With several copies, the nearest count.
Chain A
């Protein structure tokens, strides 16, 4: 199936209707974030990082369109 796979973790997962869902292809992570904020406004109040295909990203990153995107709140293991 075409499109991005978005996975949410920790407290983010509790704020979204689903923990894992498909999302339409975006050019880059900034566009993706804008769309996610638009769709799920309560994300704006939350602190999280993005991982693209399991790699944390620090800046706007181009997307092919079939990546696995993870929304990661601050880690609290151990």
Chain B
């Protein structure tokens, strides 16, 4: 099976309905025994003199999609997965909203859980995506991943 890069970007926040629909779509795949899901949610972190009200995400989209494709292929190679889905927000995502949705499915739990964790790490470290924190007092602050 040859896979091609597919879009991972979603304009604005990722809704819980989208997540539910994605879970529901797997009910026909009856060889799946375990799903592992990671969700990134925007925190209202305190910054000097103010508080984060949203993060505005931008990306080097062509490179990010190519990189996401390479990561997908490597993870499919390493783990025995049935499905893998990655969604990342672009544009403004308010505090409390979801900006990252990573979803792996496998026959057994260990594969799904380990693959999901590795995917999240690689996405955070390797995708050319940037978050700018928009503060309540109208200041801005470029996010730094830890």
A–B direct contact (CB < 8 Å):
yes
A: residues with CB less than 8 A from B are: 7, 9-11, 13, 51, 54, 70, 72-78
Q: Which residue of B lies closest to A72 (CB)?
A: B128
Q: A72-B60, A75-B145 are in contact. Are A9 and B88 (CB under 8 A)?
A: no
> Which B residues are in CB contact (< 8 Å) with A72?
60, 128
> Quick check: A75 and B63 within 8 Å, CB to CB?
no
Cα separation A9 to B142 with both chains bound (whole Å): 12
- Size class of B's contact patch? 20 to 34
Apart from A9-B130, A77-B131, list 13 A-B contacts with CB within 8 A. A51-B60, A74-B144, A74-B145, A75-B127, A75-B129, A75-B145, A76-B143, A77-B57, A77-B59, A77-B88, A77-B123, A78-B88, A78-B145
Offer 10 A-B interface pairs, CB within 8 angstroms, sorted by A. Answer: A10-B58, A13-B58, A54-B63, A70-B128, A72-B60, A74-B145, A75-B124, A77-B59, A77-B123, A77-B127
Q: Is B125 in the interface zone, CB < 8 Å from A?
A: yes
Q: Is the CB of A78 within 8 A of B124?
A: yes
B134 CB-CB contact with A under 8 Å: no
| Chain A residues within 8 Å of B63, by CB | 51, 54, 70
Query: In the assembled complex, which residues on chain A have CB atoms less than 8 Å from the CB atom of B131?
Result: 76-77
Decide: B100 and A78 in contact? CB cutoff 8 A.
yes
Provided the pairs A78-B99, A78-B123 are in contact, do residues A73 and B60 lie with their beta carbons within 8 angstroms?
A: no
Shortest C-beta distance, A35 to chain B (Å), equals: 21
Q: How far is the CA of A7 from the CA of B58 in the complex (A)?
A: 13
Taking CB atoms, residues of chain B closer than 8 Å to A7 are 60
* Least Cβ–Cβ distance between A24 and chain B, in angstroms: 22
Q: Enumerate B15-56 residues with CB–CB distance to A below 8 Å.
A: 40
Measured between C-beta atoms, what is the minimum distance from A74 to chain B in Å?
Answer: 7
Report how far A70 CA is from B61 CA in the complex, Å: 12
Question: 4 closest A-B pairs (Cβ-Cβ)?
Answer: A77-B129, A10-B130, A54-B63, A76-B143
